[in-house]
Structure 1
């Protein structure tokens, strides 16, 4: 079994050396050395070395298979008595999406509370939980909570945690900047709107993202937008034209990017057709389901027609600042969002003299449908 977070943090020695020593018994020091984050300015090391991004070129995942999925939000009490208690303080960030919550610990929620969390996130799209102990409860418990919402996606190319492929590790410092490379190192604007791994047969639903280290001077936030409100802004006639259309979502560029960097491709990339207008299984809301990161073309359209329509839709969601929010991080923040009805983008606006280290757990949901 991998060392616990508590074991690594309680040591008084250098944290990077502790992580190496702890993994020696597993015979994989070389993997740690190959992927160990290096920062020439901030030399104190990451606060949570257990969650170093791990890249194993020999790690392979089987082809994904379809599974039955019932959204936990469908079982929830609409009044949410286990989640929104008298001690819970909520503040809406925007009318269309985003709520900040204090006074409740995700780690202490009952099964009923987790069901209510699924419903609340579906309704509010993005919920920012403050003062959480989530990062300190250990990987087994973190995974147990996330599994309540569906089987956890194992990313085919990103850094994960050794022994725990369920974790998607986000890391940036002076020597590591995969996002800027992937978004386009020569671009003046690094905004890249996407819904996580939308190319999967059953893409993610309720998603967890928690901060371990963050820039001391601010920055490194995440932009979110409501695909529900983006759809609602379109004229009724245009909405009718989009309904029934399907788009091709592709994992190929992501896999090619990893291969070019001598990174892993744990599962061969797939391309999947999904409806352009998707219906949420619990709220019944219709949402656009296209994103610049993974949507390649519209099925049945000629290339020029597809490019023209997708460009309009991409411009529409990216320019809709009145249905976008900026989720700000602080120590103890856990952001939970619904990937089915949102898109998001990292904001690499901080100096790489500072470390940003975070982890995502990404439960998969139902096969997307355009039917109510």
Structure 2
């Protein structure tokens, strides 16, 4: 099938998505009555050049100089640690009302806790796409996803979408599980740091998101093994994701040619200094310098370790008005696709600022330029 045919089919499918009845819950409604119809997935055939490197200064580093780096939580009605190692749930703090200092402090707290869940954020969500971009740019250069849907005219906003008739998620239908641990677009030279995500529409139950601390998964390993892992680097690849889209799934669009980059297996956070395991089954393909069987054995062990570490994980149950922020440098996550039989819609938006090129935990570890 030609590229023109693929784009034509994609345009038709998106038009159908915009015209047909869509489910907010169990009841169908016309898209024009859907409150967030203007944020439904659009698949522009525009093609973008390769990303160019840029200098990133993490805003959390500025908060280290504040007299009280947690001052933005001073008026919170509730601050609860979801688990000892990962995640904090906050009520009574309006993200929409945070000034520059508050956002810096937020970045530092997300780096330290890995994950933060803010409830009752309807004002933030309803501010719309221009406000989303202004918010995200405080934390870094906004990433434009090469294959995902986005609101029309706003390619910097990555959408996840599934309803009774369509899905534009990256799903592996021939697997016994929908759990796919990953750090977003880790194949980029400068992958994301602090990421913001929220649901515009959600199923009555299900569709939770799992998170795990890659700082803690690393700490569980023996010191001698960690010392060895620090000497290693691995290839992260976007090729499979692009080919999945080119096959006609996910929207059928590849706006930027896929890339592969080499990152350290153990990276250091530029603000906290925490060391974190940096591999994920979705994008990591092989360990540089090892033979195939050696690389596959080590990666399989690490993937299994991540999968099994329930004591290092947190599960976010979505409720209307929830905004979740996490640091992609020190966490991994997975959507839970367990709501398909309900025929309900799950419509989410992600704001994804890029950060620095991963810093090796081992000083002097050489990576390809």
| TM-score, length basis structure 1 | 0.88
Ranges in structure 2 where 5+ consecutive residues have no aligned partner? 1-10, 364-369
Measure the CA separation in 1 of the matches of 2:50 and 2:283: 19
Tell me if 1:154 matches 2:141: no
Ranges in structure 1 where 5+ consecutive residues have no aligned partner? 1-28
Measure the CA separation in 1 of the matches of 2:289 and 2:21: 47
Tell me if 1:53 matches 2:41: yes
2:349 matched to which residue of 1? 359
Tell me if 1:164 matches 2:154: yes
Q: Call closer, same or farther: CA 1:306–1:215 in 2, change over 3 Å.
A: same
1:340 matched to which residue of 2? 329
1:11 matched to which residue of 2? none
2:173 matched to which residue of 1? 185
Aligned pair partner of 1:313 in 302, 320, 323? 302
Q: Answer whether contact 2:114 2:331 (CA < 8 A) is retained.
A: yes
Q: Call closer, same or farther: CA 1:237–1:330 in 2, change over 3 Å.
A: same
Total equivalences in the alignment? 340
Tell me if 1:242 matches 2:242: no
Q: Answer whether contact 1:152 1:361 (CA < 8 A) is retained.
A: yes
Q: Answer whether contact 1:247 1:273 (CA < 8 A) is retained.
A: yes
Measure the CA separation in 1 of the matches of 2:274 and 2:264: 14
Higher mean alpha-carbon deviation, 78-87 vs 127-136, is at: 78-87
CA deviation after TM superposition for structure 1 residue 83, in Å: 1.1
Q: State the 4+ residue runs in structure 1 displaced beyond 3 angstroms.
A: 29-32, 37-42
Q: Per the alignment, in what secondary structure is the counterpart of residue 304 of structure 2? A: helix
RMSD: 1.7
2:253 matched to which residue of 1? 264
Higher mean alpha-carbon deviation, 108-117 vs 79-88, is at: 79-88
Q: Per the alignment, in what secondary structure is the counterpart of residue 112 of structure 1? A: helix
Tell me if 1:205 matches 2:193: yes
| Pairs within 5 Å for 1:1-372 | 32-36=14-18, 39=22, 42-44=27-29, 45=31, 46-56=34-44, 58-76=45-63, 77=66, 79-132=68-121, 133-179=123-169, 182-216=170-204, 218-261=205-248, 263-350=252-339, 351-371=341-361
Q: Answer whether contact 1:248 1:272 (CA < 8 A) is retained.
A: yes
Measure the CA separation in 1 of the matches of 2:163 and 2:67: 42
Q: Answer whether contact 1:150 1:363 (CA < 8 A) is retained.
A: yes
CA deviation after TM superposition for structure 1 residue 38, in Å: 5.2
Measure the CA separation in 2 of the matches of 1:183 and 1:312: 23
Measure the CA separation in 2 of the matches of 1:61 and 1:129: 34
Measure the CA separation in 1 of the matches of 2:357 and 2:347: 31
Measure the CA separation in 2 of the matches of 1:111 and 1:184: 40
Measure the CA separation in 2 of the matches of 1:136 and 1:214: 16
Q: Call closer, same or farther: CA 1:146–1:88 in 2, change over 3 Å.
A: farther
Cα deviation digits, residues 321-360 of structure 1 (max 9, x gap):
0000101110000000000000000001113411111100
Cα deviation digits, residues 94-139 of structure 1 (max 9, x gap):
0110110011111110100000000000011010000002110121
CA deviation after TM superposition for structure 1 residue 209, in Å: 0.3
Measure the CA separation in 1 of the matches of 2:352 and 2:76: 28
Higher mean alpha-carbon deviation, 225-234 vs 80-89, is at: 80-89
Measure the CA separation in 1 of the matches of 2:213 and 2:67: 21
Measure the CA separation in 2 of the matches of 1:226 and 1:319: 12
CA deviation after TM superposition for structure 1 residue 153, in Å: 0.5
Q: Per the alignment, in what secondary structure is the counterpart of residue 160 of structure 2? A: strand
